[in-house]
Amino acid sequence: MAGSFVAVVGAIGGGFTLIILFTSLFYFLHYRKFSNKDSETGSSDPSAVGQLEGRQFRMEELEQATREFNESNLIGCGSFGLVYKGLLCDGTVVAIKRRNGRPRQEFIKEVAYLSAIQHRNLVNLLGYCQERGSQMLVYEYSPNGSICTHLYDYGKDAITKLEFKQRLSIAIGAAKGLCHLHGLQPPVVHGNFKTANVLVDENFIAKVADAKVSELLRKIEDVGSSSSTSLNAFRDPELGEGGTFRETNDIYSFGMFLLELISGKKATYEEAFGSNHSMLQWVQGHLISNDLIDHRLIGSFTEQGMRDLLKLTIKCMSFPGTNRPRMENVALELDQIREEEITRTIIMGEGTETITPGSHLFTN
């Protein structure tokens, strides 16, 4: 009896070891495969399109996915055109952007290039459709929509209260998305970064949308681009009329996004943002009148954390643009601000109850 008991335990034990061996081997292989594709520093080389090349969707397929582009599937309107939510046959939920336009080889080329860029903090482009006078971009779908709708554009729906550390996490995600673009060879400049282009998935992970789409539009638009340049709060004042976009222009836009995260309000175009001095004065003025920091944040941040974030914001929007930090450093610094904020709030409890108005937030 005892002998067979030992044998059974031995057999179970042996089987168990094997299972562990197999699972770890599986994880090893899987993780390696995964980390190659999803690595945050490793670049996905857009020239190595191969299998990642944007898929061509048929019109019938997308019509079916959106129930003939039914109005109830309409989820927005962006620079590219109307945006529809769709369900593909294989169960994938997608966001389809549609515009009218003649078929262009250039369009297919750009889609191939852009869909090779994949990252967990980017809204990845899956493919395109170019049929019957329509041009469409098919993206992965982000269930929780744009961060705008959680920050200030929330109609009558319940508000997701985003506390300070959550906003920092959103900022970190967006920074990593941009960081990936800027780290590619050659670097990819987003060209139209704004809060509306920061989407969140079901886990509230930030994903940057529409990378390079404004440039794509300039390339395929028949008439001379009429893309609105005037009075866009996110547009770097340093950017001349029709100038080429650089990484520093994205950094400026990112600074504006941070400002919206801090204020919880939609940014308006301000002359004051055109120089260090006027920007500082603007910020200090609003701190003193106590209408810069989102009042919903009260109780969820420490003064030090807020001060650090404001400083970083101002650095991103400094002049000349060559003085702005690189996206990589912005991401690192945000990470650090968040880590320190977590440590502080563990020690001291949740944040301050008051906002200390005034300029001393800046006296180092």
Work out how close the CB of 60 gets to ligand NAG at its nearest, in angstroms, rounded to a whole number. Answer: 15
- The answer to whether 329 contacts ligand NAG (rule: CB under 6 A) is no
**Stretch touching ligand NAG by CB under 6 A, among 55-63, 67-75, 88-96, 247-255:** 67-75
Contact characters 202-231, ligand NAG, x per CB under 6 A: x-----------------------------
End-to-end CA distance of the chain: 77
Residues 184 and 43 sit within 8 Å (Cβ to Cβ): yes
Q: Judged by CB, which is closer to ligand NAG: 72, or 364?
A: 72
- Within 10 angstroms of residue 341's Cβ, the number of other Cβ atoms is 22
**The pair of three-digit structure tokens given for residue 338, joined into one six-digit string:** 């968040």
The nearer residue to ligand NAG, 158 or 347, going by C-beta atoms, is 158
CA atoms within 13 A on the CB side of 311: 15
With contact defined as beta carbons under 8 Å apart, do 326 and 250 qualify?
Answer: no
Give yes or no for residue 359 binding ligand NAG (CB under 6 A). no
**Count of Cβ atoms closer than 10 Å to residue 337 Cβ:** 23
| Nearest CA among 254, 128, 118, 235 for reference residue 181 | 118
34-42, 68-76, 167-175, 281-289 -> range binding ligand NAG (CB under 6 A): 68-76
Residue 156 annotated as lining a ligand binding site: no
Candidates 24, 35, 39, 323: give the one binding ligand NAG (CB under 6 A).
Answer: 323
Question: Which of 32, 58, 67, 161: binder of ligand NAG (CB under 6 A)?
Answer: 67
Task: Give dist(CA 227, CA 78) in Å, integer.
Answer: 12
3-state secondary structure 118-157: CCCCECCEEEEEEECCEEEEEEECCCCCECHHHHCCCCCC
Q: Report if residue 276 touches ligand NAG, rule: CB under 6 A.
A: yes
> Site for ligand NAG (CB under 6 A): which residue of 72, 100, 226, 228?
72
Does 144 bind ligand NAG (CB under 6 A)? Our answer is yes
Residues that bind ligand NAG (CB under 6 A): 67-68, 70, 72, 143-144, 202, 276, 314-315, 318-319, 323
